[in-house]
Homo-oligomer: A and B are copies of this chain.
Amino acid sequence: MAKVIVVGGVAGGATAASQLRRLNQEIDITIYEKDRDISFANCGLPYHIGGEVDERRKLIAATPESFNEKDVSVFTYHEVVGVNTDKQFVTVKNMTTGEEFNDTYDYLILSPGGRARVVPGLENVEEAFALHNIEDMDRIMEYIDENKIQEAVVVGTGFIGMEMAENLRLRDIGVTVVHRNENIYGHIEADVVAVLHQEMEKHGIDLKLNAEVERYRDGYVYLTNNEKVKAPLVIQGIGLNPNTEFLKDSGIKMTGRGLIPVNEYGQTNVKNVYSLGDVMETRYLHVPEQPANIKLAWPAHRIAYVIANHIHGEYNVKFEGLLGTNIMRFFDYEVGSVGIPQETVRNYEHFVIDHQQNFKAGYMEGASKIKIKIYVAHDGTILRASVISKSGVDKRLDTLAAHIRMGGKAQDLVNVEVAYSPPFSSPKSFLNMVGYKTIEEMKKRGLM
């Protein structure tokens, strides 16, 4: 009987294990997870702190017990510390007893995820937390309650920083956000997210730009701009480092940043070793020469299915690459993007279309602007698009993603047929207008 070891039991690993069990009742499956919990909804953690997720248990999709019922063995607080790909075994450390042991595999699925980076100057500061798993969430909520926290400092403005700023405010905790430059939520263009500065102000968030943490002392964060901010609680949201050090001598290929490249089946360079989740490096679907490391739930779930199928012997299920589709709600706004990163776009000849109109019929109560910035290569390939509005951003991003995935170019957007009625859009719809503008621009440039 073939034996599968899964390293890491959160989104990617747990889903791969479930999918494989669904396909194959015989195969032996073991999950090693270094932390306390498996299979929880990481994306939901900030919303339980803010109260929009009312019950903690709703965040837990599966437990070791529920996996055991499906005949999947789960070992929590067990860290895989080494892999021998020649002899096909992993070395596991039982973190409770300190004991180490080896376990052999026929197939190895690596989903070790990352760990939150510590803000320089906040090392060993008790008041500073990251939010990466349920343990973190529990600790933060307990800490807030026990210390009757009324103000907090959030360092960084990625997903976690922004979502924590919002959710702390929703608990009526005063929030100061510290960001190292002027471009908050920096994976989206500064001019697109400019309105979020006002949104922060409107919701009572104090935004410190061009500032970094210098040190923490006596309940205050001292910033490089010589300000100090009262900070009985600090949330650090400056990104993740991949947990892949244990693979150093394994022969599994990694990038300089510690990411694991995989092919269309989720396979690494080593036979019978797969990888997924935050440590996976794949390709952009529409710009296939561009590597993609997208630390989001959708890719993890999709490639979990592909890996499960491949191990089960279904070789026609492939992963065709990513579009990096992402979205965040920030108070009254929605913002997101699809396509390659801003920085990468520069490597391709392109033109930019900026467009805005109302997200629904302009004569309807509550209508307001939706804005797009779209980068079009000279053949019409949509390299990237960023969208912001109070409503309807998810719809435009999903539609763009479906269009791009099936080979649609920017000039084809004129034909995107929308479900129109005044509460939803306009008959000359948003993406259609982007298509018309693209055609105009391409004609002007002699590209069509």
Residues on A facing B (Cβ under 8 Å):
11, 41, 43-44, 47, 51-55, 58-59, 159, 296-302, 305, 320, 322-323, 325-329, 334, 336, 338, 361-365, 392-395, 397-403, 405-408, 412, 414-425, 427-429, 432, 436
Contacts and interface: CB of A to CB of B under 8 A. Distances in A.
Given A363-B53, A402-B416, A298 B44 contact: no
11 contacts: A11-B427, A44-B364, A47-B363, A52-B364, A53-B365, A298-B427, A394-B425, A395-B398, A398-B418, A403-B405, A403-B406
A417 B401 contact: yes
Nearest to A412: B406
Within the oligomer, what is the number of copies of this chain?
Answer: 2
- Chain B CB count within 10 A is highest, among A326, A398, A415, A427, for A398
A26 to B, nearest CB: 19
Given A395-B398, A406-B408, A422-B47, A417 B363 contact: no
Contacts of A302: 414-415, 417, 432
A41 B422 contact: yes
B365 A421 contact: no
Contact of A365 (B54, B397, B402, B436): B54
A148 B107 CA distance: 76
A391 to B, nearest CB: 10
A362 B302 CA distance: 19
Given A52-B364, A395-B394, A427-B297, A420 B47 contact: no
A54 B338 CA distance: 36
Contacts of A53: 363-365, 422
A284 to B, nearest CB: 11
Given A322-B417, A402-B416, A427-B298, A41 B394 contact: no
Contacts of A397: 419
B419 A325 contact: yes
A444 B220 CA distance: 64
Sorted nearest first, the 4 A-B pairs with minimum C-beta distance are A406-B406, A297-B427, A58-B363, A327-B419
A297 B421 CA distance: 9
Contact of A326 (B54, B299, B414, B419): B419
A323 B402 contact: no
B41 A363 contact: yes
A337 to B, nearest CB: 9
With most chain B CB atoms within 10 A of its CB, the pick from A336, A364, A393, A427 is A427
Contacts of A11: 427
